[in-house]
Amino acid sequence: MKYVLVIPDGMGDKPLASLGGKTPLEAARTPNMDFFAAHGVVGLSQNIPDGFTPGTDIGCMSVFGYDPKIYFTGRGPLEAAELGIALEKDDLAFRCNLVTAEGGVLKDFSAGHVSVAEARILIEVLGERLREKHGERFRFYPGGGTGYRNLFIYHKADPGMARIVSTPPHDIMGRAYRDYLPKGKGTDFLAALMTESREILENHPVNEKRAENGKARANLIWLWGQGVPPHFPSYHKRFGFQGAVITAVDLLKGIAIHAGLDVIAVPGVTGYFDTNYTGKAEYAVNVLRSRDFVAVHVESTDEAGHMGDAALKIRAIEDVDRWVLGTLREKLKEFEAFKILILPDHYTCVETRTHSPDPVPFLIYSSREEKRGPRKFCEKTAAESKIFVKEGHTLMNLFVKGGVLPS
């Protein structure tokens, strides 16, 4: 048996007046998903546990079968994994944003989308100057794909520090940032580093040049999303097989690495509307020639939601259906038997342009055991099925090992 997981990021949505009361998934023409639905099982899965922010990190941990309540230790450690940074067990990994401050106010969490090249220079200078002064207790790492997203590792952290309170910078735009500096055991030092970063960055030539060109200065670091290294039981240990993940998104690569899954690069994959959908499906089939599990993650559905564009979201869903699921449906025939799980991580609502924690529709199809399901795969038919997986992280186990889906 071969197992295929397809994650259309943020595909779930609410009914829209502009679509005559339909959701984008409901309005989209999706013959391949509908085929799998008609011969499979659909239901709802609660991927975001109560009290958690409906982010891709939490949603995808559930999708991959890891209970966020147990395994989520912070955003920083997942991003460290993606950058290939091996954490020691007493390391504390933080997301380190480059942000823009004006006076005492946090103006922009992305520092005017500072470029990767500029961020590299700033992060390097910062690391040198601060380590000169404070020693080697910490280290900065430039991020991979986005300038404002960098990483800060604090070594030999007191275990109590994992519980300090830090605030995402995108939540305090326009506010006095000093009120939101990290709080709790050992945070005086972190707050001091953040304050000192401003002195080093404010008039750095990179920022002088940005200011000359009318761009925001990247003049402050913001440390948040900290966590100790998580310990995920690997897929091999849980299910006895090897597998791989295909994605353009750093966070997903981090989850894959922690789960002991390979990350497969596909040419032309962008995480955007022009991504190489067919290539993703073809590489997925190739993965299954030597392994038993593959996950294909697609980001464009989430992007369209954030843009608040219903037509674009429909198009992204139709592209996923045609090029990813259509290609899989055709090419998976070479294997004796296969199962597909289609499972978005969360809703990304066109109307509010943001994520919501609603239970998402899922679909399971097995070529060995065809069933009679609804003729359309969407939020409505998933709700009507009365199948409800209250703890989304349990669905992966049911998908692989079988068993009765809860109602």
Binding residues vs Zn ion (CB under 5 A): 9-10, 56, 302, 345
- Between residues 9 and 379, which has the closer beta carbon with respect to Zn ion? 9
The alpha carbons of the chain give a radius of gyration, in whole angstroms, of 22
- Between residues 111 and 343, which has the closer beta carbon with respect to Zn ion? 343
- Between residues 357 and 373, which has the closer beta carbon with respect to Zn ion? 357
Q: How far is the CB of 5 from Zn ion (least distance, A)?
A: 14
Displacement of CA 111 from its chain's centroid (Å): 21
Q: How far is the CB of 9 from Zn ion (least distance, A)?
A: 4
Q: How far is the CB of 119 from Zn ion (least distance, A)?
A: 24
Which tokens hold the place of 292? 């038993």
Which amino acid, residue 270?
T
Opening angle at CA 60, ends 59 and 65, nearest 5: 105
In whole angstroms, give the CA distance from residue 63 to residue 111. Answer: 32
Q: How far is the CB of 302 from Zn ion (least distance, A)?
A: 5
In whole angstroms, give the CA distance from residue 13 to residue 1. Answer: 32
Q: Give counts: helices (H), strands (E), the chain.
A: 16, 15
- 8 A C-beta contact, residue 94 and residue 225: yes
- Between residues 56 and 166, which has the closer beta carbon with respect to Zn ion? 56
- Between residues 9 and 34, which has the closer beta carbon with respect to Zn ion? 9
- Between residues 142 and 225, which has the closer beta carbon with respect to Zn ion? 225
Which amino acid, residue 195?
T
Q: Is 3 helix (H, G, I), strand (E, B) or coil?
A: strand
Q: How far is the CB of 109 from Zn ion (least distance, A)?
A: 18
Give the nearest residue (CB) to Zn ion.
56
- Between residues 161 and 342, which has the closer beta carbon with respect to Zn ion? 342
Q: How far is the CB of 344 from Zn ion (least distance, A)?
A: 8
CA nearest to 52, candidates 32, 36, 67:
67
Displacement of CA 371 from its chain's centroid (Å): 32
- Between residues 56 and 275, which has the closer beta carbon with respect to Zn ion? 56
Q: Is 305 helix (H, G, I), strand (E, B) or coil?
A: helix
In whole angstroms, give the CA distance from residue 227 to residue 224. Answer: 9
Which amino acid, residue 102?
E
Q: How far is the CB of 59 from Zn ion (least distance, A)?
A: 5
Backbone angles phi, psi at 99, to 5 degrees: -125, 175
Q: How far is the CB of 117 from Zn ion (least distance, A)?
A: 27
